[in-house]
Amino acid sequence: MEEKLHKKMLSDGQADIPIQMMSLTERDGRITPQWFRLETEEHEVMLCRIEQVVSRDEKRYVGIREKQFICKIRMGNICKTLEVRYNVETQRWRIFQFL
């Protein structure tokens, strides 16, 4: 399963994959992603732990406000850097792209 996921989903470039995110919210409102789950094409759920949040920013695209996080994750033996985004209006998380 990991092999298929790594070849297809973890290739560099835009991904737009919806995810379930576990995050920590500080008293000042700052969000820190901790880990997420995603569903593979075979309908299996994979857990990915975020090892480091490299940067965080807030973006506006065509009036849509999103919080952007550049994160390093580990999936088995593979380390990957990706961009995840949180849509403030819809309160949904997604993997925007793999870097």
- Tell me the pLDDT tens digit for each residue of 28-59: 999 999 999 998 888 899 899 999 999 999 99
Minimal CA–CA distance to 97: which of 1, 19, 20? 19
Helices (H) and strands (E) in the chain, counts: 1, 6
Beta bridge mates, 36: 21, 48
Taking phi first (over 0 means left), then psi (-120 to 50 degrees means alpha), and beta for anything else, what does residue 80 get?
A: beta
pLDDT mean across residues, the chain:
88
pTM of the shown model: 0.84
